[in-house]
Amino acid sequence: MCGHSVIFAGHRPYYSLYPGQLQELSGQTHSVIVDGRNVGEPDAFIDAGFVYKGIGRGDKNGHEIF
């Protein structure tokens, strides 16, 4: 199990990831995701409890980690 995810590939399957899938795969309810390809919807991940960092999108979290 992993509490953090980093996406650096823009392959089509990554565009269909949603927070529930990553929570299920990681076994965590609060994780960090670094989206280097901007494939995720920031608000959906933040609302699900993720600390989300999309490269080039600015800070939408207001979380002290970033």
Query: How many C-beta atoms lie closer than 10 Å to residue 12's C-beta?
Result: 7
Q: What's the pLDDT score for residue 66?
A: 52
Is 10 among the domain residues? Answer: yes
d(CA 38, CA 61) in angstroms, rounded, equals 15
Is 30 among the domain residues? Answer: yes
The series of mean pLDDT values per 10 residues for the chain, 66 residues long, is: 71 82 79 86 89 80 65
Is 65 among the domain residues? Answer: no
The parent domain of residue 8 ranges over 4-54
Residues paired with 53 in a beta bridge:
34
9: phi then psi, degrees, rounded to nearest 5: -120, 135
Q: What's the pLDDT score for residue 63?
A: 66
Q: What's the pLDDT score for residue 54?
A: 86
- Between the two ends of the chain, the Cα-to-Cα distance in Å is 23
Is 62 among the domain residues? Answer: no
